[in-house]
Amino acid sequence: MSRTRSIKNKPTEVPDIENLPGWHPKFWQKHLENIVEMRKSRDAPVDTMGCERLANRQDYPENFRLQVLISLMLSSQTKDHVTAAAMHRLQSEGCTLDRIVLMEHEKLEQLIYPVGFYKVHHHLSNLTAASKKQSILGKHAKS
């Protein structure tokens, strides 16, 4: 026997927050204008060393995507120039699925040091590469 609960009070409709008066943070428009003005020159480190900028665009698409992913993982809690240096060291060793999966843990740690939490990041990079390789192999095996 199923039980149903009767609804005595209908829920009231919640108005959109955009329509409520005073929902904006104080001076938010001025802050936004200042940010837009500061970003006009596009000269921040992220503009030249951002994660998508660090990957080799001339490499195979799957390697490019892997490099973007790894640079994203390394960039957490790490300054852009430190992430860029680590990615350049990885690329000099061959930043591909096969190379990272087969790379010794100590070597990978050495390449990405001094990235913040490098011991954690090396495991993430290695696991990601292994996982992506397995996923790719699985797709090809089915075809």
Quick one: which of 124, 126, 74 has its CA closest to 99?
126
Contact between residue 56 and residue 91 where contact means Cβ atoms under 8 Å apart: yes
In the chain, the percentage of residues whose pLDDT exceeds 90 is 31
Taking only the tens place, the pLDDT of each residue in 35-56 is 999 999 989 888 889 888 999 9
Taking only the tens place, the pLDDT of each residue in 81-119 is 999 999 999 999 999 988 988 888 889 889 998 987 767
Q: What value does the CA radius of gyration of the chain take, rounded to a whole number of Å?
A: 23
Domains in the chain: ranges and CATH: 46-142 (1.10.340.30)
Residue 79: band (very low, low, confident or very high) from pLDDT cuts 50, 70, 90: very high
pTM beyond cutoff 0.75: no
